[in-house]
Each structure stands twice: as structure tokens, then as C-alpha cells.
Amino acid sequence: MKTILYILALSFLPSLTHAQQQPVADTMKVQQLKDIVISGRTPQVERKPDRVVFNVQNSILASGSNVWETLRRAPGVQTNDNGQVTANNKSVTVYMDGKPVQMTGENLAAYLSGLPADNISKIEVMSVPSAKYDAQGGGIVNIITKKSRQQGFNGSAGAAYTQATLPSYMVNGTFNYRQQKLNIYGNYGYTDKQIRRRLDGYAIYETPGAYADWRNSRTLDPVTKSHSYQLGADYNIDTKQVFGFRMTGFNSEKTNTANIATSVYNDHRTVADSLLRTGNYSNGTTSNYSFNVNYKLNLDSAGTSMNIDLDYVPYKNTSDQYVNTISYIPDGSFNRNFDIFTPSSQRIDIWSGKIDLTYKLAGRWDMESGVKYNSISSDNSFLYYDVASKPVYDAGRSNEFRYTENTSAAYTSASRTIGKWSLQGGLRAEYTRITGNSITLNTINKKNYLRLFPTVLVSYKPSDDHVFSLNLDSRIERPGYMQLNPARFYTSPYSFQQGNPALQPAIFTNGELNYTFKENHTLTAGFHRMKGLMSNVTVQDNATRTFYDTQQNLDLIDDYSLQFQTNVSPAKWWEMTVTLWGAFRRQHSMFTDGYFATHNFVTELSTSQSFTLSKKLGIKAELNANYRSPLYQGVLYVYKTSDVSIGFSKSVLKKQGTIKLAFADIFYDNPYRLDIAYAQQRNGTHIKSDTRNVALSFSYKFGKNISPTRKRQTASEEERQRANK
């Protein structure tokens, strides 16, 4: 913490005297004026009226790592071991090149972990997206890949090795070929990732007649081997028509070995009354594909165009889990009292179609309108076998859950510039029909609802040095399919995870007022309301001494925030970005056994420092640091985290190749720790993953630059991301 505060304090000093200088970074903007070349560098972090942009291609620490690890370096973005992504403590939808990534949770983390960060140009954090985006999520994090710009063939290849407690490595390659009317592009990545995860937890079970303190220590060694790939083509039929096809795929195999030791202390004794040793082994596969056909027609020279997308997305996940527990008592005797086998599978099919139209209204307004329809079906099977002697099927603990969802959507958006004013407004309507059917429990939950989502963006620019903007919008977060599944997934005889089929969608209301000075210094005041936020909750039964995780809608959370961000260049060889964010959080909600209300302040500080150590030798360095304060989410108290990382790079092979060395989380102070001390609930967890590591990478570019592949957002993107959430 002292190190971070010192870095932040150092960052502000140069900003007072060098605010007039232009930012320095690695990406060059070059303009030819006769015999003079004027060049400037894009800062690593840029603030725009409707988003914050993190220029990943300027980051040394990002190189050699994967996209999942790079996400947490974007200003305000947080990730955790469960695959959750938030921005400024709001849930977000992850996009790639303007198209949502159709996975969440651990599958999202595995997918992004298999993509090299060297192929990423920038990450956009949009807290108030426009109406053309799907309404799902409290905000959007858009990952933009690198694109080439001229005719011909080119590609890149790279490899990275990461050493933490256990080693991991990745290899990747990309290509793009454009000749006359045809453009073909693709990429492939393979990742073999091993990590060591340590969890220490406790649960205190107290009743009028008894007291027990259960302390557990877990060691998890998950191994994920994944393949990610993409192949696409665009064909220009004539000057007005383009036809495209794209296929993406992700396949992974995951094994996880967990050893859990639980000591039970009864009646305040200092010596354990018993010891439970649990072995948990699981293995499974995931396959996720997306097939898209696209047609674009330019109708006139005024910019009227129509875009049609059709998608089919099949998803499949299987997992086999073995759990056994042996109980020991002080006299040395033991009892094997829990031995189960629980195979499970999930199959999701998504069919989607959408039509978007861009046109002019009254010759002054730029308009975007569109319609979309998607149909989703999900079939989840969970089987429970007691294998203490021989496999015995337990129908009462097994479950089959089927889910269908059909959504019709329409939107329109208008924008116009009037003198120094820029105006944009939009409205999106979504009508959703949902059926959740637990066949085993013989229960059916149906929901039908229509929601309207307005968006407003107003910008005023009195001069080149000053910009004021106001953003307002409303969004929705629908439950993930697994969040609704009532099946119990056991981790020990006394603990399990269970979905909640009664979950309701959460509604978010956002507002921001921004002031930007000289494009590099921005002050933002924001308001964010989360109504019905879906939050993980732990429930302990003090009488039976069981413990489980489930999902619950929280009543209301209000965040009143203030953020300051600045880009400065104290010297030609030194660039820095500093972001300070703080919020007052007020919340109240019902809980399992009562009502709670809290209020507290939340802060986040971050800085990124880039140094050109030797321009002649092509040697550069980068230092990143951040601090996040404690916060409450419902009754969960999440402790502070901090991170200090440093990296070095050198250009080789006539600047076509780059070698990079990065040290992440040097002080190993980026754990995930939470506690619950509310009514009869007293428990907590402390998780330490392999966030501290060293990575060595090499990348090489070959061929000629080519034109960028066509950006397009397919019709099924929003739905795929909710798989396995």
C-alpha cells in the first residue's frame, strides 16, 4: 500500500508543470507536410465523451500475457476467479470488436485466457452505451483486435511462457489476405495453463445450546488446455454489396484436483474434535461455436445502408465430478462417510437474426434503426450417484432443468451536430418470454415482460480545450442459465452450490456528467442505481451445520461517484496516466433471515508509467500500480486489493520481432477475501491465486500490411455470453 501511494503521489507532481505537453506512447500518428513529418503518440489511456480507452498495444505488461489478465489493467475494470467482470463496481457485458463474447463465468475466463494480448489494440470501457447496443449488462467492455491496412498478405506468430507456482505457456498465430474483392482472415491460439489456488475459509455455527468453529484449507490445481480459432471471409459483390461469413470456435479440456482439510472445534475448544479430509476431482470439456452469415447493401450515396445478420450458436459443456470425505477423530479412528459421483451436462442452442438500417432524416439527423429476434433453448442434466460400495442412483438429488427464452427487440437512435453542440438520443424496446422447467422437481417458472431502455448523450464544446458532456441510460441484466438451475453441486458433505429459479432480471440506471480539459484531463460525476442486482449469497444452517452458495436479488444499491483522470508527459521518454475514482455506496435489501442497510465509501487509485529507456536500442519499460478499497455488496464484505507490476521490452529483427519480460503482482497483494457477519451468518473466505508470476514472450510480424477485416456485430452475441453464468 505504501508503494502504491508513493507512486501515485509521484505521478501528480509532474502533472502540475507539464500539463501543456502532449502525451507520449508507442503508437505513432504520422502526417506528411511536404518535407516535414509531424508525429505524436497516443496515450495509454484516453477519455472520450462516452467511454474510456485503454490502448493495450502500448502496454509492455500486456504483451506475453493473455486477454483475461490484461482486462484487469484497464482503468476501473475488475475480474475475479469465478470469471466475473465488473467496471467501477458495475457488472458489464464483454464485447470483442463490437460483438458480445457469448460466455460468462469460468468459461469466459478460460476463453479470454486462451487469446494472446499481443493481438489486442485497445479496450473500451463504456459505462453508458448507446441504444444500438443490446441492453444486457450494466455497461460494456469492448475488446478491439489489431487490424492491418493495405492490400496483400500478412500475419503474426507468438509464444509466451509464464512461471508462477506452476508453469503455463501459449502459442498463437494470425493471418489476413486481401486481394481485389476477396478478404480472408483467421487466427488460432493454444493455451496450456496450470495454476495453484489456495483457499482458507471458516464458518461459525452457533445455536442456543451449541457452538462450533469449522476451519478449512483448500488447495486447488486446475489445468486448462484450450484451443480458440476464427475463420472468416468477406466478398465484395460490387461497389454496393458485401457478403460475409465467419466461424469462431473454442474447445477446452479442464481438470481440477482439490484437497480440502476441515478442522472442527466444538464449544470453544482450542484442540480440534475432528478432522475431515475431502478429495474433489473433476474433469470436463467445453465446446462453443458461432456461425454467422452477413449481407450489407449500400442503398445510396447519402449513406443509407442495410445490414442483415443470421446466426446459429451451439454450446456444450460436460463435467464429471468425484467427491469423497474421510472423518478422523483424535483417537485415530476414521469413517468414510461421503463418496459420490456427479456427472453433468449442458446443451444450449441459439438461433438469431437482425436487420440494421442506417439513414438520414430530414437531411440533418444521422439515424440508426433495427430489429432483432432470438430463440434460446437450454437443457441441463445433473445426475447424483452414491458410490460408497457400488454406484447407486439417487433420483432425489439429481435434476434435469430446461430453459427457453425468446426475445424480440427494436431500436432507433438519432444524432446531430448543431454548432458547438452534439446530440444523440435513442430508445430500445425488448419483449422477453421465459420458461424455466425443473423436470425432476416438477416445477415451472414463467416470465413475460416488456422493457424500454432510453439513452441520451449531449456534448458541448465551447473551444478545443474544453468539452462538457452528459450521458444517461437504462439497462438490464438477465440471469444466467446456470444461475437459475436448482441442481446442487456438492464440494463436500456439508457444502454445495445451488441456483435460484426465482431470480428476476436486474435493472440499472446510469448517469454521467463529464468535463474534459485539453483532451487529457477529465473530471466525471456519476450516478448508478442497481435495482434487483443478482448477487452471490452464502447460507449456513447452524442446526445441521451445512453451508451453501446461491443467488439472490438485492433490493437497491445506489452509487454516487466522482472520477478524475489525467494523461501527462513529464519528459519525452516518460508518459503517465493517473486515475482516481471514488463513490458513496448506499444499499438496502432483504436477506435470508432479516433486513439490512449499509452505506460506505469506495475508492480506486491506479497509475500507468511508460518509459523509453533507449530509443536507439528499442528498449522500453512500464510500471502499473492500483489500489481498490474494501466494499460491501449485500452482506458480503470484500477486502482491499492492490497490485504493482513492471515489464520490459526490446525490439529485434529489424523491429519485426519483440521480446518482452514482465513481472506481475510483485508484492503478491491481489487476493480475494470476503467476510459475512450478519445475524446468524458468520463465515468467510480468503483466496490467493497465482497472480504473482513472471512471463517471457516473443512475437514476430511477417508479410505486408492489409486492409482491416470488416467490423460487424452478429445477431446472437448477447445470448451466448450468458451460457454457464
Per DSSP, what are the bridge partners of residue 289? Answer: 249
pTM of the model: 0.83
Confidence of residue 714 (pLDDT cuts 50, 70, 90): low
d(CA 436, CA 444): 6
pLDDT of amino acid 179: 87
What cell was used for 188? 488460432
Give 164's DSSP letter: S
Q: Is beta strand 365-382 parallel, antiparallel or unpaired with respect to 45-48?
A: unpaired
Distances from the Cα of 163 to the Cα of 252, 297, 662, angstroms: 21, 50, 11
Whether residue 597 contacts residue 588, with contact meaning beta carbons closer than 8 Å, is answered with yes
Which pLDDT belongs to residue 704? 62
Q: What's the confidence (pLDDT) of residue 492?
A: 84
Residue 181 CB: number of other CB atoms within 10 A? Answer: 11
Q: Which three cell numbers stand for residue 224?
A: 486448462
Q: Could you give the angle at the alpha carbon of 164 between the alpha carbons of 161 and 170, nearest 5°?
A: 25
Other C-beta atoms lying within 10 Å of the C-beta of residue 652 = 12
Strand order in the sheet with 546-553: 488-492, 495-498, 546-553, 534-541
Give the pLDDT mean for 343-361. 93
Per-residue pLDDT tens over the stretch 455-477: 999 999 999 999 999 999 999 99
Q: Residue 28 — pLDDT band, cuts 50, 70, 90?
A: very low
pLDDT at 16 (0 to 100): 36
559 vs 148, higher pLDDT:
559
Q: Are strands 99-100 and 93-96 parallel, antiparallel or unpaired?
A: antiparallel
Closest CA to 434 of 422, 450, 421: 450
- Per-residue model confidence (pLDDT) at position 308: 95
Q: Are 18 and 570 in contact (CB under 8 A)?
A: yes
Strand ranges in 267-304 using DSSP code E only, listed in sequence order: 274-298
Answer for the pair 553, 503: CB distance below 8 angstroms, yes or no: yes
Q: Is the pLDDT of residue 294 over 90?
A: yes
- Residue 174 CA, chain-centre distance (Å), reads 23
User: Average pLDDT of the chain?
Assistant: 85
Q: Domains in the chain, please, with CATH?
A: 2-720 (2.40.170.20)
As given in the structure block, the three cell numbers for residue 380 are 441441463
Beta bridge partners of 433: 406, 448
Which DSSP category does 153 fall into? E
Backbone angles phi, psi at 442, to 5 degrees: 55, 45
For residues 96 and 86, give the distance between their C-alpha atoms in angstroms, rounded to a whole number.
16
Q: Are 98 and 712 in contact (CB under 8 A)?
A: yes
Give pLDDT, residue 563. 92
DSSP state of 478: P
Contact in structure between 663 and 654 (CB atoms under 8 Å): no
* Nearest to 623, CA basis, from 636, 606, 635: 606
CB distance 569 to 547 below 8 Å: no
CA distance 662 to 162: 9
662-687 pLDDT per residue, tens: 999 999 988 889 998 888 889 999 99
**What are the pLDDT digits (tens) for 399-458?**
999 999 999 999 999 999 999 999 999 999 999 999 989 888 788 888 899 999 999 999
**214 in helix, strand or coil?**
strand
* pLDDT-derived band at 35, boundaries 50, 70, 90: very low
In single-letter form, the type of residue at position 16 comes to: L
In whole angstroms, what is the distance from residue 116 CA to residue 628 CA? Answer: 26
Show the DSSP H helices in 492-581 as ranges: none
pLDDT band at 337 (very low <50, low <70, confident <90, very high): confident
